Structure 1
Amino acid sequence: EVLDDPALEARARALSSGLRCLVCRNESIDDSNADLAKTLRLLVRERLVAGDSDAEAVQYLVDRYGEYVLLNPRFTLANALIWFSGPALLLGGGWLAWGFIRRRETAAKPAPAPLTAEETRRLERLMNG
């Protein structure tokens, strides 16, 4: 499984460390001992020996297995929407809750009743001495 050319082997190891084992899920094919990981490591080496660039070898695997094969997914609009929708929903929910509580507190406080004539006379007597 090791290539004779050290430069190609280093490239293969670097690529393999960035590709997900489809059996182990959170492990790279470089670290995994699963049969599928071994097959994918061999496939990466075959592509490099055939003259593919690193990007072409990775794209070959993405074409066959989907973006899931990448341990670090590419930044796309769909990925950005997924990553930012959670915090956006949390902030939006907090904003709505804050507005609801403020509105409820404001509505719960009744306006003070106007003073009666007797209360007004008493207040004037207290203030004037």
Structure 2
Amino acid sequence: MTPRGRRVRVSAAVVLALALSAGGAFAVNPGEQLPDPAQEARAREISAELRCMVCQNQSIDDSDAPLAKDLRLLVRERIKAGDSDRQVLSFLTDRYGEFVLLRPRLRGETLLLWGFAPAILVLGLAGYAFWAFRVRRRSAAAQGLTEEERARVEALLDRDVEPGRPG
């Protein structure tokens, strides 16, 4: 193996190791954690269901954004105040809307968005494809030869071609 090939393999292994080790990192700082392990477990469970509004594709537990930290602290405050998990989630959705949930609840507007929108999109695309196919077929049929062109083609096909000379 060439030295360059070894360097490429070592670099790929280092990148893979870094990527795999970064997946387990949590953004929750020790100072944020609740002293009661049961309450902290509840806080982690709730935080895993909440979206970081800055990162948008991470839970607030996985995000280092200042807003995610504020939300983590707010969750812990509500738990210390004696709120149930449902009350904490209701408080946050009342304050920030359904967008704060990583998995939005099934409601009228979400059912419309996730249930009917894809079906309408598929039907619309199928209708467009059908229309485009028909238009293309009609235009191909309309582009046929005129009588004069047809006669000229017939004349060219019927003429004798001399041997050795291209037609």
Counterpart of 2:91 in structure 1 is: 60
Write the deviation string for residues 38-93 of structure 1: whole angstroms up to 9, x where unpaired. 11101000101101000100111111111110010111111111122133232244
Identity between Structure 1 and Structure 2 (%)? 57
1:37 corresponds, among 61, 68, 87, to 68
Q: Whose RCO is larger (CA < 8 A, sep 6+)?
A: 1
The alignment yields a C-alpha RMSD, in angstroms, of 2.2
The aligned length equals 107
Tell me the TM-score normalised to structure 1 length: 0.72
- Amino acid of the structure 2 residue aligned with 1:8: Q
* C-alpha displacement of 1:24: 1.0
The CA distance in 2 between the partners of 1:51 and 1:10, in whole Å, is: 14
What are the ranges of 5 or more consecutive residues in structure 2 without an aligned counterpart?
A: 1-31, 142-167
- Amino acid of the structure 2 residue aligned with 1:87: A
Write the deviation string for residues 83-111 of structure 1: whole angstroms up to 9, x where unpaired. 22133232244156548857x97xx7xxx
Q: How does 1:90-129 map to 2 (within 5 A)?
A: 90-95=122-127, 97-98=129-130
The CA distance in 1 between the partners of 2:65 and 2:133, in whole Å, is: 54
